[in-house]
Amino acid sequence: MKQMVSEMTKEELRQIIESSVENKFLEWFSDPDDGLVLRDDFLKRLMKSKAAVERGERGRSLDDVARRLGL
C-alpha cells in the first residue's frame, strides 16, 4: 500500500526512518567476509607480518606517524 508522508502518523514516519537508517548502518558496517576461511598460505604470511610488527622490525608507532605529520 502506497501512502503519502503527509498521511502518516509521526510514529509511522519515525519507524520508516529508523528502519532506513538501521539498514544503511548494516550495509556500511557489516563484514562482507564474515564466515569466510583464510587460506593457509595467507594466514601464515599474516602471522609472520604480525610477529615482525610486534618485534619492532616492521611498522611505525602512532606517535611517530603523528610526529611526522605534524599532528
Residues 6+ away with beta carbon under 8 Å from 49: 58
Instruction: Give the integer Cα–Cα distance in Å for 57 and 49.
Output: 9
C-alpha dihedral (59, 36, 43, 29), degrees to nearest 10: 10
pLDDT tens digits for 5-61?
A: 889 999 999 999 999 999 999 999 998 888 899 999 999 999 999 999 899 888 888
Work out how many domains the chain is built from and give that number: 1
Q: pTM higher than 0.85, yes or no?
A: no
Residue 58 backbone zone (phi > 0: left; psi -120 to 50: alpha; other: beta): beta
Residue 1 grid coordinates: 500500500
Domain range enclosing 27: 5-68
